[in-house]
Amino acid sequence: MSSNQRLLLLEVAVLADHHNSSCLLSPIAIYDKELLKNSSFQIEIFELCTVCGARFGIGHFGESKGDARVAEEMEELPRKLIEILAKDHRQERQHKYMIELDE
């Protein structure tokens, strides 16, 4: 296991532990290739990076919330992600494998 994979697993464990203690789960975007490694991640929508085409699943960790997010929030999450991904390209840095969208 590479150091990047270990770091990702640590991030996932910390986020999952943090979210277990709260009722509302924060929306998170996970890089498409990492989704298979995170079986507890509930995908609500997919979004593509407008520059490089990288695909991200937007959702949350844990059981399904049962109720769908409000339409306004579901429109806002992809916009937030697109802004973050565009900023990565402007600053010539790689995309993170997991991005919190409630920052």
Task: Indicate the domain borders of the chain.
Answer: 3-100
Q: Return the half-sphere exposure (C-beta side, CA atoms, 13 A cut-off) of residue 8.
A: 17
Global pTM reads 0.69
Q: How big is the chain by its Cα radius of gyration, in Å?
A: 13
- The pLDDT score that the predictor gives to residue 48 is 95
Mean pLDDT by 10 residues, the chain (103 residues): 56 54 68 80 90 93 62 82 96 94 77
The Cα–Cα gap between 14 and 72 comes to 28
pLDDT attached to residue 17: 54
State residue 19's pLDDT score: 46
- Is residue 58 within 8 Å of residue 101, measured between CB atoms? yes
